[in-house]
């Protein structure tokens, strides 16, 4: 390939590195498809934002119990629906500094309404310190009392994002809830890929009756409205008990999500495989006496792999939103497990949210995560095939 392309005489030879990233005609032949994809992807600023953003989200979420000042299950009965603690950088001496402070809060029972009211004592400033001892939590299996930040004075409260209806720290719950919300899509997509690629390839390659049956199944699953179907399947799960723990439920939810998810992938892979089947390289392999298995595994799967990755990446946001909707309706992740959708369940009543707007914060994290995943998926799609949507 390389020798057939003559460099134009008037263009000065570009520098070594730049050469690679400008994707010049002369180098394209030297690079493998995957290298080309990687270059195109890393040139896409939004996609890189998605990758780094997601990396940070995962780190924060999985170190959540260490990062949050309180344990996510700890209930402060005197801080029910407590508002977020104010933070100030103006010290007790009235000067602005780098040391953050929070104010002491007191709980007063209003004798007229018999509701707890929270008063911020502006005169009493408490310094926020890093690496303080607090509630014992387990981070990635390690038990520790160390927290990234918090108050040294354990008698004072520090709730960055307020407290929920049982007086639990919303910040800690959002971080811990993210562990389920950000992974449920990955497992769900992994399952749909296995189902979708096996069935889609078989359907496209063998055609005939297998194809007909598969097409009908896909059509039937596609005709069900997704969320009611998910809800019906989720309602069929047993209640949480000794034999059926939250972990079981989590995996069953991912299966439910992928039952619907695989059809899209199967349909698209089928179209791909159909076009490969008549391609010259397949005909050549057939003429050379290759078996069906060999043709599928060595000629079709590598060709479809990039496509599978793209569809997988694009499928993750839908799964995350699916889990959120299910848990929001009370059919997905159930307490004591926490997920963003389950947290949003507290925000179902408009009147509650109007009074305690911080209960809506998990909505923001859902949108952020889905948005970052969409950026990655979009970037991958452009990298694999710059001409398709």
**CA-CA distances (angstroms) from residue 46 to 63, 278, 318, 376, 379?**
26, 37, 19, 8, 7
- Give the dihedral sign, CA 351/366/245/167: negative
- Tell me the HSE value of 17 on the side-chain side, using a 13 A CA sphere: 0
DSSP string, 303-350: HHHHHHHHHHHHHHHHHHHHHHHHHHTTSSS-TTS--HHHHHGGG-SH
- The reply on whether position 99 binds other proteins by CB under 8 A is no
Q: Site mask, other proteins, residues 360-389, x = CB under 8 A?
A: x--x--xx--xx--xx-----------xxx
Q: What's the CA gap between 262 and 311, in Å, rounded?
A: 10
Q: Which is nearer to other proteins, 21 or 371 (CB)?
A: 371
Site for other proteins in 198-227 (CB under 8 A): 216, 219-220, 222-227
Q: Which is nearer to other proteins, 105 or 324 (CB)?
A: 324
Site for other proteins in 218-277 (CB under 8 A): 219-220, 222-229, 231-233, 235-236, 238
Query: Of 7, 335, 336, 357, which lies in the binding site for other proteins, with binding defined by CB under 8 A?
Result: 357
Taking the complex as a whole, how short is the minimal distance between the CB of residue 370 and other proteins, in angstroms? Answer: 4
Q: Which is nearer to other proteins, 238 or 302 (CB)?
A: 238
Q: Do residues 70 and 136 touch, judged by C-beta distance below 8 A?
A: no
Q: Which is nearer to other proteins, 51 or 321 (CB)?
A: 321
Q: Which is nearer to other proteins, 134 or 322 (CB)?
A: 322
Q: What's the CA gap between 192 and 22, in Å, rounded?
A: 36
Q: Do residues 319 and 191 touch, judged by C-beta distance below 8 A?
A: no
Q: Which is nearer to other proteins, 285 or 363 (CB)?
A: 363
Site for other proteins in 286-345 (CB under 8 A): 317, 321, 324-325, 328-329, 344
Q: What's the CA gap between 61 and 210, in Å, rounded?
A: 44
Q: Do residues 78 and 116 touch, judged by C-beta distance below 8 A?
A: yes
Number of residues that bind other proteins (CB under 8 A): 42
DSSP state of 121: E
Interface residues with other proteins (CB under 8 A) are 216, 219-220, 222-229, 231-233, 235-236, 238, 317, 321, 324-325, 328-329, 344, 347-348, 350-351, 353-354, 357, 360, 363, 366-367, 370-371, 374-375, 387-389
């Amino acid at each position: 390939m390389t020798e057939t392309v003559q460099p134009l005489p008037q263009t000065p030879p570009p520098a070594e590195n730049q050469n690679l990233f400008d994707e010049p005609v002369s180098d394209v032949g030297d690079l493998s498809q995957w290298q080309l994809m990687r270059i195109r992807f890393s040139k896409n600023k939004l996609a890189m934002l998605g990758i780094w953003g997601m990396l940070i989200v995962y780190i924060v979420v999985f170190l959540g119990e260490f990062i949050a000042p309180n344990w996510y299950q700890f209930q402060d009965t005197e801080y029910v629906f407590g508002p977020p603690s104010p933070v100030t950088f103006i010290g007790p001496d009235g000067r602005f500094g780098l040391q953050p402070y929070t104010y002491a809060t007191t709980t007063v029972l209003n004798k007229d309404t018999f509701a707890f009211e929270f008063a911020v004592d502006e005169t009493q400033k408490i310094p926020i310190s890093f690496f303080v001892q607090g509630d014992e939590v387990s981070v990635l299996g390690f038990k520790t009392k160390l927290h990234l930040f918090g108050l040294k004075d354990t008698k004072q409260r520090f709730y960055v994002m307020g407290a929920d209806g049982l007086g639990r720290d919303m910040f800690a719950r959002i971080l811990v809830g993210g562990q389920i919300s950000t992974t449920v899509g990955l497992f769900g997509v992994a399952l749909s890929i296995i189902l979708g690629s096996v069935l889609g390839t078989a359907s496209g390659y063998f055609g005939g009756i297998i194809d007909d049956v598969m097409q009908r199944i896909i059509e039937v699953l596609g005709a069900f409205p997704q969320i009611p179907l998910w809800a019906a399947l989720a309602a069929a799960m047993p209640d949480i008990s000794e034999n059926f723990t939250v972990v079981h439920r989590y995996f069953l939810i991912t299966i439910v999500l992928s039952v619907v998810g695989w059809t899209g992938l199967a349909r698209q892979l089928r179209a791909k495989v159909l076009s490969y089947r008549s391609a010259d390289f397949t005909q050549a392999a057939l003429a050379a006496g290759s078996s069906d298995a060999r043709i599928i595994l060595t000629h079709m799967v590598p060709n479809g792999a990039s496509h599978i990755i793209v569809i997988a990446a694009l499928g993750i946001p839908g799964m995350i939103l699916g889990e959120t909707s299910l848990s929001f309706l009370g059919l997905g992740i159930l307490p004591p497990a926490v997920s963003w959708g389950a947290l949003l369940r507290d925000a179902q009543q408009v009147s509650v949210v109007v009074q305690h707007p911080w209960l809506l914060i998990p909505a923001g994290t859902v949108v952020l995560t889905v948005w970052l995943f969409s950026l990655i998926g979009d970037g991958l799609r452009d990298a694999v095939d710059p001409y398709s949507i």
